[in-house]
Amino acid sequence: MKKFTWILLLVLVSGFSHAQSQNVPEAGKFGGAEKQVVYKNQAGYSLQHMINNGHYQMRALIDYDSLNMSFLGNWPSGINYSLIYSGIDNIFMLGSGGTMIVLDLSDPEQPETISEVRSRSLVDCAFFDTETNRLYLGAYFSGVEIWDLNDMQHPFRLARIPTESYPRGGVFAEGNIVYVMTVAAGIYIYDIENLEDINLIGHYPIPSSSLVWNSAKDGDLMFCAAGNACRIVDVSDPSNLVMAGVIAGASAGVYAENGKFYQLSSTSGLKIWDVSNPATPQLLGQIAISGNPAKISVNGDYAYITSAANEPNGGLKIIDVSDPTNPQEKSSFVCYTEHVATNGSLTLISAGSECKVIDVTDINSPQLKSTISLPGWVHNVFLKGNYGYTGSNGFRVFDLSDKSNPVQVGFNETLGAFVATNSDYAVYIPYSAGGNNKVNIMDISDPTSPKKMGHYVSPAMTYKVDLKDNYAFIACWWDGVRVINFSNPESPVLAAHVLGWYNGAIPGDEYCFAQSIDVVGDYLYVIDYMPFEDQDTKGIYIFNISDPANPVFINRFKEFNSKCNDIS
């Protein structure tokens, strides 16, 4: 069965309506200049208006479902970039790539997945409105997605708002008003009373020379945290947004509540500000935070801070902020972590492919209750019939018979990335520039219960795999191509080795940098993009593999200009 690569390019062109005066930011400045821009109110899947925003110039916005193609379904799970507490009982929402996992932690030792919200893109931030039971996702290329969670077991999407610049800085909602913090184009405010005709009702531009990766909202104030300062914007009148104040200094994670603003930075730790008069913020107190302070959540008298550093400085820091003039560290839980959410009894911390559930009822002694494993990066998918096979923090098998709802049906903890299969076995390798990589042989005769049978250790890189009968061809970069015989899946062995570097070898003749390979019938194709200009290795190398254990070189084609990274 051949591999397939799916490429989807979706572009929608929308007409503009009326011109309107807009304050367009000037690069490197807090203020801007009045200019005429054209745009119309937005709904559904149409384009946002385009503004030449400081250093950031988005001249075209790619949108979905055009060019006679349409979205069917996805499995968007992956690395963690977001984490929130719902505000309801012990329900938390954990980001996993483009998936938001709705978790019930009534039993913190046995987390229960209520449902999975599958967005169209990576979820960087989220907000849950307990009044409407709506979940708002800042979903990278997709913009802002609005989901109905009145029935948490059966979430469904209500609407999507494409945004100029990515909504990675934060999203908030009050009733029918949605506040979006984009990274490079400032604040956008939308009226969503009519979900079929969503109106843009306010915009406060921020120059893209000040990228805003974090934000907070308290009442009528939004705090826009960038690398050079935190702007305080009054959003009480969406049609007339004004900067109410500025807090100097770089900001990482931020939090705002009850007239206080909590600011994290790697140099100053935690600073607590009185912003009851935003024009003149007053520093109340501060405390050094070891490691690399990343995110913060406040509940009652305590601030829960993550430090994205390795041991011993990384982990969860619990700070007593009952006296904001004299914050004190109460306890910590050591690990590497980035994101945090808490309800005061349970605190979740997450990073990469892992989330930890911590009991903080004894504030002086946080206790780990459970660990939730998440998928990782997905590098490829191999299709065979109605099944898809891939590696993503483990070997995963998907039932793709319903294209609108891919379902994971099999899992094995063996780590890897690239997969190729024949009738009953899959060869599964890591995508690795290191050495001593395992070429794993997986039994997939029962797709719901894949099992590792054995492995061969490749001494150098493993970049790509393809099969002919019971032979696996592995692209190993400077080590050329290794051919593994897995007719005995419990004990695979090296059958052949071609184009591997050795001292004194002639480039392009005796060795190449095998970036990728492809097997078609009795032929093996190896591609080298010539990573080093002083070594003449670029080309497509073709071998006859009618006898896979004895590849015979046929030709090298090198008359192309591009630097190719893959071949299929």
What is the secondary structure of 392-450 as a DSSP string?
SSSEEEEE-SSTTS-EEEEEE----SEEEE-SSEEEEE--BSSSSEEEEEEE-SSTTS-
Task: Work out the average pLDDT over 102-127.
Answer: 98
* Single residue among 199, 227, 250 that ends a domain in this structure: 250
**Mean pLDDT over each residue of the chain, to the nearest integer:** 89
Write down the residue that tokens 């891919």 correspond to: 406
Residue 504 pLDDT level (bands cut at 50, 70, 90): very high
**pLDDT tens digits for 423-467?**
899 999 999 999 999 999 999 999 999 999 999 999 999 999 999
Residue 420 pLDDT level (bands cut at 50, 70, 90): very high
Residue 353 lies in a domain: no
Please check the confidence at residue 27 and state whether its pLDDT lies above 90. Answer: no
Q: Say whether both 388 and 244 belong to one domain.
A: no
Residue 423 in contact with residue 468, Cβ under 8 Å?
A: no
Q: Residue 243 burial by CB count (10 A; 0-12/13-18/19+): exposed, middle or buried?
A: middle
Q: Which residue has the higher pLDDT, 465 or 422?
A: 465
Residue 24 lies in a domain: yes
Residue 340 lies in a domain: no
Q: Say whether both 97 and 239 belong to one domain.
A: yes
Q: How many domains does the chain have?
A: 2
Residue 383 in contact with residue 4, Cβ under 8 Å?
A: yes
Residue 315 lies in a domain: no
For residue 465, the enclosing domain spans 382-557
Distance CA 354, CA 351 (A): 6
- Residue 64: its pLDDT value, please? 62
- Residue 187: its pLDDT value, please? 97
Q: Residue 40 burial by CB count (10 A; 0-12/13-18/19+): exposed, middle or buried?
A: middle
Residue 207 lies in a domain: yes
How would you classify residue 377: left for phi > 0, otherwise alpha for psi between -120 and 50, otherwise beta?
beta
Residue 198 lies in a domain: yes
Check whether the bond before 312 is cis (ω within 30° of 0).
yes
- Residue 209: its pLDDT value, please? 80
Please check the confidence at residue 380 and state whether its pLDDT lies above 60. Answer: yes
> Which of helix, strand or coil describes residue 142?
helix
* Single residue among 235, 250, 265 that ends a domain in this structure: 250
CATH number at residue 111: 2.130.10.10
Residues 6+ positions from 122 with CB-CB distance below 8 Å: 76, 78, 81, 97, 98, 139, 140, 141
Q: What is the dihedral of CA 17, 23, 25, 26, to 10 degrees?
A: 110
Q: Say whether both 243 and 386 belong to one domain.
A: no
Q: Which residue has the higher pLDDT, 65 or 23?
A: 65
- Residue 210: its pLDDT value, please? 85
Would you state the structure tokens that stand for residue 172, as one six-digit string? 């908030």
Distance CA 523, CA 546 (A): 7
Residue 204 lies in a domain: yes
* Single residue among 250, 273, 298 that ends a domain in this structure: 250
Residue 535 lies in a domain: yes
Residue 15 pLDDT level (bands cut at 50, 70, 90): very low
Of the listed ranges 7-16, 170-179, 341-350, 550-559, the one predicted with least confidence: 7-16
Residue 32 pLDDT level (bands cut at 50, 70, 90): very low
